[in-house]
Chains A and B, each alone.
Chain A
């Protein structure tokens, strides 16, 4: 659990982060979203003390982060940034092994961990362990960056616009990978982005920042239906907020018993996707299929529309 209490950062007379208090639950993903200059990166970097706060404090599982030297604290916290920041003169395996080496793990444990992580990130160790970063595609480099951040099994992972440099298709894949990894390891993730779609897709809770202040920190559906501030409403998108709300629920969650002659959709599809499918096919209801391909129920247009209202 990460508790941020009254955290403030001032550079001279400029206040970049202004008395921010947040609590990120264990095993959850918190996304900090805001325009550039909102202070979101500074807030993130104060968690691992790349930026030292002017006042306030951060508690990691109850312990003040200032109770140990900053570099030791950082070795316990994963850190991934935009443009991956891989070391160009080190191989993929050496890059991933960075923090375990700093921690003095035995070589065989490091080797096993590197192989495991490369496997998880769909990078065949036989092909990629000895490769240099410039030999990889952008998506692969980014995956190595995240693998490196997770190498020492940190309880907390900080990510600063990690997918910002990727094209939309690879970014979507990277986001799915992150969700799967987070479920697998139960890592507590704090991720900074300026992309509201990314925030809604990844965040269990989303903090909207503007001018150094957190305006609202809540579940995506609450941000959409009960924005605490006109800025939050603007950020979450007034014109398509109904569709964004639909995107937060899956067909499986909304399905009711019964069957339909309409198109068949997957239970993991969002209501937004189901609605789009119904519009496209001209049908008024759809059959929802489970993972095994058997019918789990049905959904009609009225039921979907009802969920697009606050």
Chain B
């Protein structure tokens, strides 16, 4: 009886997520290449074995560290230790790939490319998932989450800037595009944030109007829903003609940079895509507000504006912010497509890379986009949680 108890409690201690991640990472480690060597940037790569490229400390050390992390992931429930193990393994993994790149690159050679292979990416994603899961289990306060994000992103950037990563293929592409990269990054953020801000300025009042006038709701939300279903490329195309005509007819518009192609149609399209989540969430958020509270506010002598500003909007804010978060992440991703019509942004690297079959250049555009979207999501989540700490209509309904 005691033995059985011991067995069940022991088997219960194997962490299911840890098991899944370990299995995935182990399978990738065994079957997929860790490093890809290319004699130049557009040649197909050839996989290189770990022991062939890494110095002795890496050949033994990297698998040992990964094994140790797997043991922690499988058996140790303490979230703090899991986080430290995951982050430590990520650092070691990054150092190993840098060492591999440095070992494979002849001194002074700028032609060869050494790229991380599929095994590296799978293991990195598994470690990332392990770390995020540990952070979720730690339930850090919103401010702590933002700080952690800043430390991780800032640390990563400093490491790439000053660390031994210069011979990695992505960093090679970065070195070639170093002058353009900050410009495109800024453009990317400006397009995403600018269209978001414009959508909030228009969408919030529109949502309030739809809440006040139920008759408006179906046509407005219906129209915005239809816009949402138009593929981005098609919407750019649709916008080219009217914006081009506008630029042709009104010189002032052309002077402002409005043209059939470029940033203007991209910004307009992103703005249109952003409206639906913001308007819809404003309507839902306002509808969720306790009617008794609104009735009491009016009954005590608040003007319509005071009811809106002091009762309805504060209570609807978490839901509205959730809509804004959706839009922010969606925009950061969609700006990439804007590069197709000359809108600029990190998508420029992606499409150039596709055109040149240079996958490393694609990654130079794609990886920062993912980091941006992830950071935006973490920031807004933290903001929403701070606001939810002051109880909202939802909690009252639950009480």
Interface residues of chain A, those whose CB is within 8 Å of chain B, are 48, 50, 71-76, 79, 81-89, 98-99, 102, 132-134, 145, 148-149, 158
Contacts and interface: CB of A to CB of B under 8 A. Distances in A.
A83 B399 contact: no
Interface stretch (B163-171, B276-284, B291-299): B291-299
Given A81-B295, A133-B396, A134-B399, A89 B300 contact: no
B299 A89 contact: no
A79 B302 contact: no
Contact of A102 (B293, B295, B302, B392): B302
Interface of B: 290, 292-293, 295-303, 306, 310-311, 314-315, 390-393, 395-396, 399
Nearest to B292: A85
Closest 9 CB pairs of A and B: A85-B296, A75-B301, A74-B301, A79-B299, A85-B292, A134-B399, A88-B396, A83-B292, A71-B301
Query: Interface SS of chain B: helix, strand, loop or mixed?
Result: helix
Contacts of B392: 88-89
A134 B396 contact: yes
B300 A87 contact: no
Contact of A72 (B290, B301, B391): B301
Contact of A99 (B300, B315, B391): B300
A145 B290 CA distance: 15
A98 B296 CA distance: 10
A102 to B, nearest CB: 6
Nearest to B399: A134
A81 B299 contact: yes
A85 B293 contact: yes
A107 B364 CA distance: 58
Nearest to B393: A88
A76 B299 CA distance: 10
Given A79-B296, A85-B290, A85-B293, A99 B393 contact: no
B399 A74 contact: no
B391 A75 contact: no
Contacts of B295: 50, 81, 85
A50 B396 contact: no
B298 A87 contact: no
A87 B301 contact: no
Contacts of A98: 297, 300
A155 to B, nearest CB: 14
Given A88-B290, A89-B390, A74 B395 contact: no
A87 B399 contact: no
27 contacts: A50-B298, A50-B299, A75-B300, A75-B301, A81-B292, A81-B296, A83-B292, A84-B292, A84-B296, A85-B290, A85-B292, A85-B293, A85-B295, A85-B299, A87-B297, A88-B290, A88-B392, A89-B315, A89-B390, A89-B391, A89-B392, A99-B301, A133-B391, A134-B395, A134-B399, A148-B296, A148-B300
A74 B303 CA distance: 10
B303 A132 contact: no
Contacts of A102: 300-302, 306
A82 B391 CA distance: 21
A72 B306 CA distance: 13
A73 B391 contact: no
Nearest to A85: B296
B311 A87 contact: yes
B314 to A, nearest CB: 5
Contacts of A71: 301-303
Nearest to A98: B300
Contacts of B302: 71, 102
Given A88-B315, A89-B390, A73 B301 contact: yes
Given A88-B315, A89-B315, A74 B290 contact: no
Nearest to A79: B299
Contacts of B311: 87
A86 B296 contact: yes
A89 B292 contact: no
A48 B314 CA distance: 26
A136 B7 CA distance: 46
A50 B311 CA distance: 17
Nearest to A69: B303
A116 B298 CA distance: 25
A50 B295 CA distance: 9
A134 B299 contact: no
B293 A88 contact: yes
A145 B296 CA distance: 9
A123 B221 CA distance: 46
Given A85-B293, A88-B293, A89-B314, A79 B300 contact: yes
B288 to A, nearest CB: 11
A158 B301 CA distance: 13
Chain A CB within 10 Å, residue with most, of B296, B300, B390, B399: B300
Nearest to B394: A88
A75 B194 CA distance: 42
A75 to B, nearest CB: 3
Contacts of B297: 85, 87, 98
A71 B299 CA distance: 8
Contacts of B292: 81-85
Given A132-B391, A134-B391, A74 B300 contact: yes
A19 B202 CA distance: 46
Chain A CB within 10 Å, residue with most, of B290, B292, B303, B315: B292
A132 B395 CA distance: 11
Given A81-B292, A83-B292, A134-B396, A88 B300 contact: no
Contacts of B393: 88
Contacts of B296: 79, 81, 84-87, 145, 148
A273 to B, nearest CB: 35
Given A71-B301, A81-B296, A134-B391, 14 more contacts: A74-B300, A75-B301, A85-B292, A85-B296, A85-B297, A87-B310, A87-B311, A88-B391, A88-B395, A89-B392, A99-B300, A134-B396, A148-B296, A148-B300
B395 A87 contact: no
Contacts of B298: 50, 74
A158 B399 CA distance: 27
Contacts of A86: 293, 296
